[in-house]
Every structure is written in structure tokens, then in C-alpha cells.
């Protein structure tokens, strides 16, 4: 069963990926697209902008560079990347949810070189080695195949380019455990107040099922990335993973593990 009693995707996952079909995830995000940004600010205790800026800085994107932002949502990370790549840079934001892409296009209309498209993170609408960097923020835990997601990011980034993943992490420090208890308790309540209780209960469930940072680092290496590092922020409640695309042609590494 992929759906819970509240009608949202179950949020259950293995160390390979989220159990929910992509169509269910897309429909859920369509439903919350109009409240997504204010909800993110509240449930992150207003830390999300700081996390986002750090993720963008880790791409080392330069003026005139090209980047792709996967699971772009309402486009904030993509817009920050675009700003960093000016003058002359280009950024593509990709999301499986048409509702999210509609919000992003409306919000950032009139920015040359900033484009948003509906697309699948496991089959990105871009040629090989066409970007200097790729990012995914709070989207990896929604993918049915984590390794496939990282492999696609590797495929579309040039040798020497960076892949950056920002995601909520399992708590370890005392501060992180306190924050996680707050997160687990308050997020479903806020979601119900906003009329989106099912979607935000899914958020909590999906975070519980997401692999530990060391496991994600190992998956990135399996996907062909090198120099993989990770660091926690805000007491470890979120984790930033960074990997580099090695020199040479990309190999196909997205097949399911036995």
C-alpha cells in the first residue's frame, strides 16, 4: 500500500528509494504549491533561507556558468543559482509537479536564462555534461531511486562539476533531537491548520524513512561521484552532501541493486 489513511503517499522507503509512485508525489505537491513557501519558513524555524544560500555557495558556480536544480519546487534555489551565475549564466529548474512549476514561472517571469520545466528527476531533460553544477534541495527523499537520481545529476554535469544535495537528516546531537521532536509534533498540526494535513504528515514520515548521511554518501559514490563530503547544519537537522563528477565519460550506474 503506497497511500496512508490520510490519503497522502505513505512516505515509507528503503535505502534504495521512496516507495510512493511518482504520480502520487506529483499530485500531492500540486496540492500544496500555493502554501509551500510560507510553510517551509515556519517548519524550518525560519532557517531555510540560510540553508539554501549555503547549498548554492557549495556549487562554486561562476558568472556565465550553467546549473540545473532538480525538484526545484517554487524555484527559489534555481533563482539563487541564476543570480550567482550572472552575467550571462543559465539555470534550468526541473520538477515533477506542474503546480510547483506554475508558481515558479509566475514568480520569476522575465529573467533571461532562467527556465522552468516539468520533468522527471530520473530522466532529466538535458544532454550529457551540459551543466557546471546540479542541486537538489529537500527533494531526494521523494525519489523512488536515490542512486538513479544522483546518477542522472552526474550525467548532466560536466567533469569537474559539482552535485549538491540538501536534505533533512536523522537527528544525532541533543539539539537535533529536540528540533526533531518539535518537527515531528508541530509539522502535522501546522499542516492541518493550512488544510494540508495529509501532505505534511507525509513529510514527517518521509524524513523518518530517509537513510542516514553516511548511507547517502555511499549511494553518491555508487552513482559515480568522487570526493563526496557531507556536513550538518542547525545541529544536524539538515545535511549538505557534495560530490564531484570525475573526468572521463559517464558510465551507466543507475540499474537497481540486487
Integer Cα distance of 4 and 45 in angstroms: 27
Identify the CATH assignment for 22-243 out of 2.40.180.10, 3.30.930.10, 3.40.50.150, 1.20.1050.10.
Answer: 3.40.50.150
Band of pLDDT at residue 17, cut at 50, 70 and 90 = confident
pLDDT the model gives residue 256: 40
Nearest to 115 by CA among 151, 72, 84: 72
Q: Is the pLDDT of residue 255 over 60?
A: no
- Per-residue pLDDT averaged across 164-169, rounded? 92
* Tens of pLDDT, residues 182-237: 666 666 666 666 556 566 677 777 777 888 899 999 999 999 999 999 999 887 88
pLDDT the model gives residue 242: 98
pLDDT the model gives residue 208: 77
Q: Are 135 and 77 in contact (CB under 8 A)?
A: yes
Three-state helix/strand/coil letters over the chain: CCECCCCCECCCECCCCECCCHHHHHHHHHHHCCCHHHHHHHHCCCCHHHHHHHHHHHCCCCCCCEEEEECCCCCHHHHHHHHHCCCCCEEEEEECCHHHHHHHHHHCCCCCCEEEEECECCECCCCCCCEEEEEEECCHHHCCCHHHHHHHHHHHEEEEEEEEEEEECCCCCHHHHHHHHHHHHHHHHHHHHCCCHHHHHHHHHHHHHCCCHHHHHHHHHHCCCEEEEEEEEHHHCEEEEEEECCCCCCCCCCCCCC
pTM above 0.85, yes or no: yes
- Per-residue pLDDT averaged across 157-176, rounded? 85
Q: Is the pLDDT of residue 18 over 90?
A: no
* Tens of pLDDT, residues 91-137: 999 999 999 999 999 999 999 999 999 999 999 999 999 999 999 99
The more confidently predicted of residues 134 and 15 is: 134
Q: Are 205 and 175 in contact (CB under 8 A)?
A: no
pLDDT the model gives residue 40: 75
**Sheet containing 114-118: order of strands:** 114-118, 90-95, 66-70, 131-137, 157-168, 238-244, 226-233
pLDDT the model gives residue 204: 72
Domain ranges of the chain: 22-243
* Tens of pLDDT, residues 26-36: 888 888 788 77
Q: Is the pLDDT of residue 245 over 90?
A: yes
C-alpha distances (whole Å) from 215 to each of 23, 63, 172, 256 are: 26, 34, 15, 16
pLDDT the model gives residue 126: 97
**Residue 184: CB partners within 8 Å, gap ≥ 6?**
204
* CB burial string 10-27: b at 16+ within 10 A, e below: bbebeebbbbbebebbbb
Q: Is the pLDDT of residue 3 over 80?
A: no
* Tens of pLDDT, residues 54-83: 999 999 999 999 999 999 999 999 999 999
Band of pLDDT at residue 6, cut at 50, 70 and 90 = very low
Integer Cα distance of 145 and 219 in angstroms: 10
Amino acid at each position: 500500500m503506497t497511500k496512508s489513511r490520510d490519503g497522502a503517499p505513505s512516505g515509507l522507503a528503503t535505502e534504495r528509494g521512496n516507495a510512493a509512485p511518482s504520480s502520487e508525489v506529483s499530485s500531492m505537491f500540486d496540492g500544496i504549491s500555493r502554501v509551500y513557501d510560507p510553510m517551509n519558513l515556519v517548519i524550518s524555524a525560519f532557517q531555510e533561507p540560510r540553508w539554501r544560500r549555503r547549498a548554492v555557495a557549495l556549487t562554486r558556480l561562476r558568472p556565465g556558468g550553467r546549473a540545473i536544480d532538480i525538484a526545484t519546487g517554487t524555484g527559489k534555489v534555481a533563482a539563487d543559482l541564476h543570480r550567482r551565475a550572472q552575467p550571462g549564466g543559465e539555470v534550468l529548474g526541473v520538477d515533477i509537479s506542474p503546480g510547483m512549476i506554475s508558481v515558479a514561472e509566475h514568480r520569476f517571469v522575465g529573467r533571461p536564462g532562467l527556465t522552468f520545466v516539468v520533468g522527471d528527476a530520473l530522466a532529466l531533460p538535458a544532454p550529457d555534461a551540459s551543466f557546471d553544477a546540479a542541486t537538489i534541495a529537500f527533494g531526494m527523499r521523494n525519489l523512488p531511486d536515490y542512486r538513479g537520481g544522483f546518477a542522472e545529476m552526474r550525467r548532466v554535469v560536466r567533469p569537474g562539476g559539482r552535485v549538491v544535495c540538501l536534505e533533512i537528516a536523522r537527528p544525532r546531537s541533543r539539539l537535533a533531537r529536540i528540533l526533531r521532536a518539535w518537527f515531528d509534533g508541530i509539522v502535522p498540526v501546522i499542516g492541518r491548520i493550512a488544510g494540508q494535513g495529509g501532505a505534511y504528515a507525509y513529510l514527517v514520515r518521509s524524513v523518518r524513512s530517509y537513510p542516514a548521511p553516511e548511507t547517502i554518501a555511499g549511494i553518491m559514490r555508487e552513482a559515480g561521484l568522487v570526493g563526496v563530503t557531507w556536513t550538518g547544519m542547525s545541529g544536524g537537522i539538515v545535511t549538505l552532501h557534495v560530490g564531484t563528477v570525475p573526468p572521463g565519460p559517464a558510465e551507466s550506474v543507475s540499474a537497481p541493486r540486487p
